[in-house]
Structure 1
């Protein structure tokens, strides 16, 4: 069975992500550099850790990606999966939560059971704070999430498969403190710096040079020179898209009958 073949039907709440577009344009931000130097390096050399397995020492396998939306958390997961040549699965955390006693924990367990019998993969828990929120109170919902977290850690403590677990959140303050304390590597994905924005602009002005790039590159660089940045990498990309679409539109003939 190939690494990209699904062994059986996906459990509820789990989807297989398609390979990301435009991954070559990712800026080598500080978190991306850590991924290269630590995560990819360790996962590409599993033999170095084989003698240590008896001591419960493994390559880093749990990551926390946090920061405002639109700054590359999902793209980083797609990039990791691409570099490791493994599939990426997304856990839609909000769909796993149920009011009935024990159902949330059962849903989490079903996903981990499925993954345990699957080839190597990256597993992204998207908006993980909805599944494992900061604890407080004794409501039935709180008991459900506590039970789900207990199931998660019981499985992870005995995990032997080659799977990378990534927790992603826009609101790290809402995430359970105990969960955060047990995740090996925390990486913050923030808005682009001036230099990072210039690198992205330079990349796309070369790729899309025939779509008015000389003009819109100057406009965007002038904006940065004036100290006006971008709220997110997504905001920057959408701005570039807008210039390209306008260039194409300006070149279209009249549609009048």
Structure 2
């Protein structure tokens, strides 16, 4: 089997054999997927070509690859807060052609989550809601989302592929603050983390704009002031800055937006 075909086959088999939660994360989020101990071998020279990330897959030269049995052993979500998923694999030479299997001790290593005071308080607020209060809170939040969605659509009506829907996923892990976004065709689906039901309108608007900006950079240009409101709340809850602040900084400097530049300084970003 040639090297290019083998790489594509390995990637497909890795994904097919992962647990459903890891599949969802890879499919729905823009995570940096990294590989440990994954390589293909030139059958003629014996040279190993290591694949450490998806970019490496594109750089593999064309050659006749050695038949090996590949095995996925572990998925590490320990760096999920940094948007990194690490997949651990092993392989051995095969006399019967290429094959793929799941290790009998396959496991998912859950993230080590640091929860600050603000995050704990928000979890406490959620847990203290009665069933009736939660239903009322979710209904109010749905109305808030509808109004914000309508406002955003009015402003981006001239932009292609602007179809999106927003939900609250009440089953998300409260200790891991992460919104999930998935695109099917021209439709973007956004699942907002439940702890954001306590957030102000400008923060929720920033969340939606932030998620949409992953698919259209014009959204960032239009709503960067709203997105920074989300970034400020995210830092308050998670004690870290979102990477998108790099791009917001560029926009603020280009537009000489002194207010946003000052906000970035207060966030200790500049």
Which of the five TM-score ranges fits, normalised by the shorter chain?
under 0.3
> Which one has the bigger strand percentage?
2
Structure with more relative contact order (C-alpha pairs < 8 Å, separation 6 or more): 1
TM-score (norm 2): 0.23
TM-score (norm 1): 0.24
